[in-house]
Structure 1
Amino acid sequence: MNQLLSDFFSVFLATIQDVLPIVVIIFGFQLLVIRRQIPRFSKVLIGFVYVLIGLTLFLLGLEKALFPIGRLMAEQLTNPEFIREWSGSLDQSTALHWSDYYWVFLFAFAIGASTTIAEPSLIAVAIKANEVSGGAIGVWGLRLAVALGVAVGIALGTWRIVTGYPIHWFIIAGYIVVVIQTTFAPKLIVPLAYDSGGVTTSTVTVPLVAALGLGLAETVPGRSALIDGFGLIAFASLFPMISVMGYAQITEYLAAREKQKRVLAENEGVNNAL
């Protein structure tokens, strides 16, 4: 308990140092530039205290729980004995193939989808997009599209770590796809798709994904935690843009096809009547 309290206060002091510049800028502009008193000043101060406590607990939870869990899962899933047991070969002399790591890819896909669905920032963006579009953009449709993009991106990123291919190949190819999609996707969805790539790299997704990437790079033979472990977040940011614009393109195509069917049915009805 004493160690936990000590860790809490050390993280709390570090959080105050991080938040202090934000407080100085906000209060400085309010008092020196706008030159108006802050309404409900006492409630604002209480809110900042809540922010400090919340950030402290969150950072402490990352250090004590999420990072160790992600690293532990990566170590267990990449354990040669575990892989050989599931692949049906216990021969220690046989070199592992990238396809033997399929449990890692499945776990990466599942953890990417589940953390994105639970991402508070994505929920907020989806609700606002639904309100602004008058219901044209569904809350769950957007959340599932982003979750699918993150899941595919992280699974592909873990496959890259296992195989050792350079990351810039995937990033360049991904952004070429994004540029092409931007040209043909509905204009309404393009800004939202770009923002969707940013909201995924937030409080829930980043800790687990970063821990998974670092743990995987440390346990796969021949990989460097510094060179191969980082960059997994880039996949989580890139592929939601592709999936959201793809979702909009498919929806637009299906709507146009349905409209064309109705027009043909109406024309056929008119011709029969004549």
Structure 2
Amino acid sequence: MENIKETIIEVIKSILPIAIVITILQFTIIWLPLETFMQFLIGVLFVGVGLILFLLGVNVGLLPVGEMIGSALPKTKKLWLIILFGFLLGLVVTIAEPDVRVLSSQVEQVSDGAIPQSVLILSVALGVAIFVAIAMIRIVFNISIVYILAVGYGLIFLLAAFTPPAYVPISFDSGGVTTGPLTVPFIMALGVGVASVIRGKTASRDGFGLIALASIGPILSVLLLGVIYG
């Protein structure tokens, strides 16, 4: 019950500022048609209810399961299994990410279908999946995240030189949308679970940084998509 109350307060604090600003603008500057403004208020209500249910689902289901999976995988003592399930979980969670679907639909609309929604979603999901698998390898072998980030962004700037200009901003936006409300909690919980078991390492040191790594994958995959389509 306390968790529900905290979630409701958190959502209200998130939504209320934008609702207040739009309301002030409505009655001072923009003066939208009454029907449009009422649609906005109804939309705010729906978003609030949806976010409350969504966050409750994340806290009750996704986070505990992510940590349990992360804790169980290292006990198998099979590196390939840790990497495989890191890849698969990164793939399916990204496909389900609402932010990725919003971006892909907007890109398809703006490009007049030149970049299909399904292709962009799959590219972003594969990019995240590959780098979540790399993150699992980093945790197991205690590789410094600095080296992986340096190589990753080095490849990004190299590919950007050969990619049509229209794909560069899309690629960086694709990296941004993977830090959404579904992907972040699950991947972080997975990383913390793995890090808490492997070699007795502290979860605070090795469990974090997964989102930074996961964000590189979509940028690279969309840039490669640009090279292919371009």
The reply to whether TM is greater than 0.5 is: yes
C-alpha change, 1:183 and 1:37, in structure 2 (3 Å) is closer
What pairs with 1:57-68 in structure 2 (closer than 5 Å)?
A: 57-68=53-64
* Paired position in structure 1 for 2:21: 25
Residue in structure 2 matched with residue 184 of structure 1 by the alignment: 162
Q: Does 1:10 align with 2:6?
A: yes
The structural deviation recorded for 1:151 is: 0.7
Of 88, 92, 101 in structure 2, the residue corresponding to residue 110 of structure 1 is: 88
Superposed counterparts of 1:135-214, under 5 Å:
135-214=113-192
Over 3 Å counting, the alpha-carbon distance change for 1:42 and 1:246 in structure 2 is: closer
What is the CA RMSD across the aligned residues, in angstroms? 1.9
* Cα shift at 1:167: 0.9
Among all aligned residue pairs of Structure 1 and Structure 2, give the percentage whose two residues are the same amino acid.
38
Structure-to-structure mapping, 1:209-228, within 5 angstroms: 209-228=187-206
* Alpha-carbon shift at residue 120 of structure 1 (Å): 2.2
Contact 2:15 2:44 in 1 (8 A): no
Q: How far apart are the structure 1 equivalents of 2:222 and 2:160? A: 11
Task: Indicate how the Cα distance of structure 1 residues 35 and 124 shifts in structure 2: closer, same or farther if over 3 A, else same.
Answer: closer
Letter in 1 for 2:179: T
Gaps of 5+ in 1: 84-99, 253-274
Cα offset for 1:247?
A: 2.2
Cα pair distance change 1:23/1:131, threshold 3 Å = closer
Q: Deviations over 1:80-104 (max 9, x none)?
A: xx32xxxxxxxxxxxxxxxx32211
Q: Distance in 2 between matches of 1:132 and 1:138?
A: 11
Structure 2 runs not aligned, ≥5 long? none
Question: Alignment length, in residue pairs?
Answer: 229
Q: Which consecutive segments of 4 or more residues in structure 1 shift more than 4 A?
A: none
* 2:66 is aligned with 1:70: yes
Which amino acid in 2 is paired with 1:77? L
**Deviation of 1:162 (Å):** 1.4
Match of 1:36? 31
Q: CA deviation at 1:219?
A: 1.4
Give the C-alpha shift of residue 37 in structure 1.
6.1
Paired residue secondary structure (1:184): coil
What's the offset of the Cα at 1:38? 6.5
Q: Which has the larger radius of gyration?
A: 1
8 Å CA contact retained: 1:164, 1:223? no
Partner of 1:236: 214
CA deviations 1:231-267 (Å, max 9, x no partner) are 1011111111111111221344xxxxxxxxxxxxxxx
Residue deviations 1:15-40 (CA, integer Å, cap 9, x gap) = 212322222333233334x1636723
Alpha-carbon spacing, 1:111–1:53, altered in 2? closer, same or farther (3 Å): same
TM-score (norm 2): 0.91
5 Å matches for 1:77-116? 77-79=73-75, 82-83=76-77, 100-116=78-94
